[in-house]
Structure 1
Amino acid sequence: MYLTVTTEAKEKLAPFADFDLLLDYDDGVGPLSKTGSCTLDGGFRIIAVKPGTYAKDYSETLDSDLGPVRYKDYTDMFMDNNMKLQINPVNKLLKLSGNSSGELTASVAIVDATNN
């Protein structure tokens, strides 16, 4: 799998350049879940964490224009082989789309968990 990150999206993520990035499908599973239980309202978000942390929960890696991005091993079923993280020109929020499936998440939150 590969995640293309546009120049504008890279600028939005620039404050987290020294941290690991997680592509988190927030399904209520794991220590960083804001949902707290299984939900049908899952969506992707980017979580910045201290390097090397949460490796047990986010054990898989995909390549990206920003370097390796970790994710939960079973969430690849919600992803495409080729994905794109870009800025929505209308609302200026990050959006994640897949080459085959179209829009995966319309508003990808950036979560700063670097103090955890």
Structure 2
Amino acid sequence: MYLTVEPQAQEKLQQYIDEDKDLLLDFDDGVGSLSNVGTCTLASVFRIIAVAKDAEQKDYNKSLDSNLGTFRYKGYSEMFMDPQMRLVENPTNKMLSLRGSNSGELTGMVTVEDLSAEA
């Protein structure tokens, strides 16, 4: 699998790229300590999270290459991904969108969170 981060999306993520941080492509399904949902839900979406390199990441057991570097993700979330994905900026609302080569839009509004300062 590969993620192409388009130039406008790269600009939005640049502030989160740091040698002391890891980027996660999180499938927010209620699993794990970083979940906003808190319990299993049908409203699952992808989001990007920046975490400190030494942060607990046991749920993020796989890596995904991209033109921006490596993203870690929950291995079982592969079933919701495509072999080739793109992170793009919607020109109308300036939100990030995750799109797959086969499935089309995977998440229409990808949020980005910096949790690197949290313990």
TM-score w.r.t. structure 1 length?
0.97
Aligned to 2:56: 54
Aligned Cα root-mean-square deviation (Å): 0.8
Name the SS of the counterpart of 2:79 in structure 1: helix
Gaps of 5+ in 2: none
Bigger Cα displacement from structure 2, 46-55 vs 12-21: 46-55
Cα distance in structure 1, aligned partners of 2:94 and 2:29: 25
Instruction: Map Cα deviations across residues 38-93 of structure 1 (whole Å, 9 max, x no partner).
Output: 00000000000012423311010010011110000100000000000010001000
- The percent of aligned pairs where both chains have the same amino acid is 55
Letter in 2 for 1:35: V
Higher strand share: 2
- 1:38 paired with 2:40, answer yes
Letter in 1 for 2:28: D
How many residues of Structure 1 are paired with residues of Structure 2 in the alignment?
116
Letter in 1 for 2:115: A
Name the SS of the counterpart of 1:39 in structure 2: coil
Letter in 2 for 1:115: A
Gaps of 5+ in 1: none
TM-score w.r.t. structure 2 length?
0.95
